[in-house]
Structure 1
């Protein structure tokens, strides 16, 4: 549990067993705000006593040094942290620095942390500060046998409680504390997403993922969850989902989560998330190396459920529908095969050339069904869809492709705000030509070139003219080789996308 309170700097009490964290910019005075609390004079005196060379070293970005200072014979346990140049100190650097503070405090054994001068009067930096604090303390520890039974189901540092007091000058403190509450709710959605994605495939498979989604109903009476079993999926003619899932004894599910809270009966935003709870590649089986990471192939669906979890706490006046097709892609005597032709929900036929290009098949059915049933004003899908996206953009940037420039620009703006990087890729007729089939309407792979874009070209056959954006999060959904070191993204699932879609929804009100 993390409690974060915003106070005027002169009202902050400094007591024993606290850790006082002082941020130091290379080009700004450290005393300007510290002097507003007389109990911090000892820190100013210490810093004033340092020679310039030593002080300059401490001020370098990310540098930390612990001190034991005394004021009136009372200890002031202090951590100095370098912030670099103030002109370069953006929101993502704040996110990373506040995460470093959390991790350093945890390492030093402190649960009560005071941050008097990190943001001073910059309320705009409050949101990333809170995100860094909360998300850095996440641990997926429920299966560690050396943790006491009573704490195995908790996500934050072995069930420790942390209290952070943040100092601001001349702020609207009611507004700031309300913002803290909102940001923490969004972070809870990220944590919900991370927990699901990190869970192993023997624990989270289509039916248990559906049960996790059903828990959202108890959080808010504006949320309704429907789970379609194999029989219902067959009745609807969702043959893409059926085909991919039929090789496993764990039957597929179609999970629908509705959040209805708009007073004007607006058309909903439709979110679709790929949830392949484990992907062997099917008959076109993957190499064994790093196949264990294919538990993360459900990350698109987990992101969407994390968004719905955040909505359940925030009471936003919007309508949102989440559709999550969930399957396990396994090789067996009942698996679908290369060469099969599948008639999809919208009537189009697909020639299967590779059973490891399964995500687009289940997404296509879910997109077509969701659009047909809910007539949404816009559609956004999330999927760990192509290794080609990692080759093109690496492991720190997600691919964005769509048919509506206005929607795309809104998403780019939201992602910039939250530090979740996305990059727009083109979708032109040449790519549509690459997925034409000689024996069906389209084929499920388009060859070696432009793999991320041809996958999106495939999906475009199932969205009609509805404003649509596709996010390929294959590189960003979990920490991999090349993932940037960010304190707020511990090893494993990142929950990528929850924060910037929540920002998009908030800005759309």
Structure 2
């Protein structure tokens, strides 16, 4: 898919299709009014007849409009002009792309970024249009014997911006949008892979491929023998019941000088989670292949980062593991010794992600990081708290939490902060070990974060619980690619801040 920006007059556009907005009630946008004059009232006459009301998501495709150079004109309903917000804008773009792709318009000039979206500038509108386009066209058909391909798919999209001054802004938006869209695709492709293909070794292969692709990246792999030497008893226990070896993949991106402390992203990579001895119910257990959504999002973010060539140092950790019931599997009642030396009483083997992450979080101390962000499909409790709209954000460092929330707002990849007050820590008390691995049903997401916080005292840390946002169920089941946009936006902003200091 090819994107570009230009600043041109609507009537001079010669394309397979030109896209313009229509507001309620039956009112053309400014660009639409220009085309209406040239077409001698053709468009406004159609609207007066009631062919299009202008409600959000309505579309009307016109052929051979009088005096218009383009073959087609696509009128897109945008709702009430004063109420056009970011959510509606992205929905309008999605509807537009789906229509163009179905109608054989292989290229189009789109004037929708000229619409006024509350609180958003040209950069945001163009970037979101790029990301929404890729999201709309995404398909996972690698494993299908017959790939139902579109006969004449959309291949080229030109975004028109109001003035020539904004061309540079638009080009930057396309660059950022494409990198994030490609990162999301990597995340979605890996997460959607079935668990008989995507195991810890597969994650390690993807990390190694990234190092071959970019000179700025080195990859290290840590298998079970080395984990044993490092004392990662908690991580090893979780994978003990699986035929597939646990592998932790380290992706080191160097975009700045050696003295600059890296930001570390740690992704939970449970390539399948049966729950272990505390076996999950059978319904929808197939979706537990998405329990490596955190690792997939870190991999996707590292792709986007390398593509953007940001002047920043980042380490991505894919904590690959598989949780299976077996004669060697760990049990409820076991007491594990973590890499930090702290001990954990296992009350539930289905609270395994935190047992893998705690050793990974101890391991990354050696990088003397500026900040560490772990990303995990950690708790069903987060879905109950926030649904499928917002990622749960928990942090012991207010400035880091603030930066992540800003990035979530800017990227449209929303997060919401939950507390990790010390009051919750007592729920993790154990009579037999330093702590238990669960704290009961109340505040399950928070107590999971409290558990992790005990292994992060040597650096600034934040935790993203993506259990509700990493994938969707039902008819459109599949990975969402979140939170790649949030993480990439955060890194873009950190790179700008560090370079300005």
Task: Give the structure-1-normalised TM-score.
Answer: 0.91
Alignment of 1:122-201 (within 5 A): 123-124=122-123, 125-147=125-147, 160=153, 162-171=155-164, 172-201=166-195
Match of 2:325 in 1: 331
Question: Kindly tell me: are residues 158 and 499 of structure 1, through their superposed partners in 2, closer, same or farther at Cα, counting changes over 3 Å?
Answer: farther
Match of 1:253 in 2: 247
Counterparts of 1:221 and 1:384 in 2: how far apart (Å)?
A: 31
The answer on 1:210 being equivalent to 2:196 is no
Alignment of 1:30-109 (within 5 A): 30=28, 32-34=30-32, 41-42=38-39, 45-50=41-46, 52=48, 54=50, 58-71=53-66, 76-109=71-104
Counterparts of 2:219 and 2:423 in 1: how far apart (Å)?
A: 40
The answer on 1:404 being equivalent to 2:397 is yes
Report the secondary structure of 2:351's partner residue. Answer: coil
Q: How many residues align?
A: 489
Q: Deviations over 1:48-79 (max 9, x none)?
A: 21455827x53111111222233359773222
Match of 1:365 in 2: 359
Match of 1:454 in 2: 447
Counterparts of 2:324 and 2:72 in 1: how far apart (Å)?
A: 55
The answer on 1:6 being equivalent to 2:27 is no
Q: Deviations over 1:93-123 (max 9, x none)?
A: 2222212211111122322122135426851
Q: Does the 8 Å contact 2:113/2:122 carry over to 1?
A: no
Counterparts of 2:251 and 2:151 in 1: how far apart (Å)?
A: 31
Aligned-residue Cα RMSD (Å) equals 2.4
Counterparts of 1:474 and 1:136 in 2: how far apart (Å)?
A: 22
Question: Kindly tell me: are residues 73 and 21 of structure 1, through their superposed partners in 2, closer, same or farther at Cα, counting changes over 3 Å?
Answer: closer
| Unaligned segments of structure 1, at least 5 residues | 152-156, 484-489
Counterparts of 1:117 and 1:438 in 2: how far apart (Å)?
A: 62
Report the secondary structure of 1:336's partner residue. Answer: coil
Between 394-403 and 300-309, the greater mean CA deviation after superposition: 394-403
Report the secondary structure of 1:502's partner residue. Answer: helix
Question: Kindly tell me: are residues 329 and 158 of structure 1, through their superposed partners in 2, closer, same or farther at Cα, counting changes over 3 Å?
Answer: farther
Q: Does the 8 Å contact 1:353/1:443 carry over to 2?
A: yes
Question: Kindly tell me: are residues 502 and 31 of structure 1, through their superposed partners in 2, closer, same or farther at Cα, counting changes over 3 Å?
Answer: closer
Q: Does the 8 Å contact 1:64/1:81 carry over to 2?
A: yes
Counterparts of 1:423 and 1:130 in 2: how far apart (Å)?
A: 25
Alignment of 1:409-448 (within 5 A): 409-448=402-441
Match of 2:301 in 1: 307
Distance apart, 1:218 and its partner CA? 2.2
The answer on 1:477 being equivalent to 2:470 is yes
Question: Kindly tell me: are residues 246 and 365 of structure 1, through their superposed partners in 2, closer, same or farther at Cα, counting changes over 3 Å?
Answer: same
Report the secondary structure of 2:347's partner residue. Answer: coil
Counterparts of 2:494 and 2:70 in 1: how far apart (Å)?
A: 49
The answer on 1:112 being equivalent to 2:107 is yes
Q: Deviations over 1:447-466 (max 9, x none)?
A: 11111111111101100142
Distance apart, 1:473 and its partner CA? 0.5
Match of 1:20 in 2: 18
Counterparts of 1:347 and 1:73 in 2: how far apart (Å)?
A: 73
Report the secondary structure of 1:136's partner residue. Answer: helix
Distance apart, 1:41 and its partner CA? 2.6
Distance apart, 1:330 and its partner CA? 0.5
Between 436-445 and 177-186, the greater mean CA deviation after superposition: 177-186
Match of 1:386 in 2: 379
Question: Kindly tell me: are residues 335 and 23 of structure 1, through their superposed partners in 2, closer, same or farther at Cα, counting changes over 3 Å?
Answer: same
Q: Deviations over 1:362-393 (max 9, x none)?
A: 0111011112x101111111100011111111
The answer on 1:495 being equivalent to 2:484 is no
Q: Deviations over 1:431-490 (max 9, x none)?
A: 100001100000101111111111111101100142111111001000136x9xxxxxx6
Question: Kindly tell me: are residues 188 and 65 of structure 1, through their superposed partners in 2, closer, same or farther at Cα, counting changes over 3 Å?
Answer: same
Deviating above 4 A after TM superposition, structure 1's stretches of 4 or more consecutive aligned residues are 11-16, 34-38, 72-75, 157-161
Counterparts of 1:12 and 1:469 in 2: how far apart (Å)?
A: 51
Question: Kindly tell me: are residues 271 and 28 of structure 1, through their superposed partners in 2, closer, same or farther at Cα, counting changes over 3 Å?
Answer: farther
Counterparts of 2:356 and 2:87 in 1: how far apart (Å)?
A: 34
Counterparts of 2:367 and 2:259 in 1: how far apart (Å)?
A: 12
Question: Kindly tell me: are residues 73 and 475 of structure 1, through their superposed partners in 2, closer, same or farther at Cα, counting changes over 3 Å?
Answer: closer
Counterparts of 1:228 and 1:307 in 2: how far apart (Å)?
A: 21
| Unaligned segments of structure 2, at least 5 residues | 496-501
Task: Give the structure-2-normalised TM-score.
Answer: 0.92
